[in-house]
Amino acid sequence: MDRAGAIEIAKQLRAIGNNINQMARATNTAELNPNLAANLTAELQKTQKELNQLWKNLT
């Protein structure tokens, strides 16, 4: 992968990570069914970990 491609991927990963953080905050502050909120939070944390691993692979 060339430098420009890596920079673009990094930019997109940051944007996705920011969106996930916003969704996590919304999930934690919304009045949701506790089971639904727990499931959503778990999925968001899983996705965040996967994005972190992708980021590490790029650096």
Question: What integer pLDDT is reported at residue 6 of this predicted model?
Answer: 84
Task: Please write the tens of the pLDDT for every residue from 1-59.
Answer: 788 888 888 888 888 888 888 888 887 787 878 888 888 888 888 888 888 888 787 77
As a whole number of angstroms, the distance between CA 47 and CA 33 comes to: 21
As a whole number of angstroms, the distance between CA 15 and CA 13 comes to: 5
Question: What integer pLDDT is reported at residue 42 of this predicted model?
Answer: 87
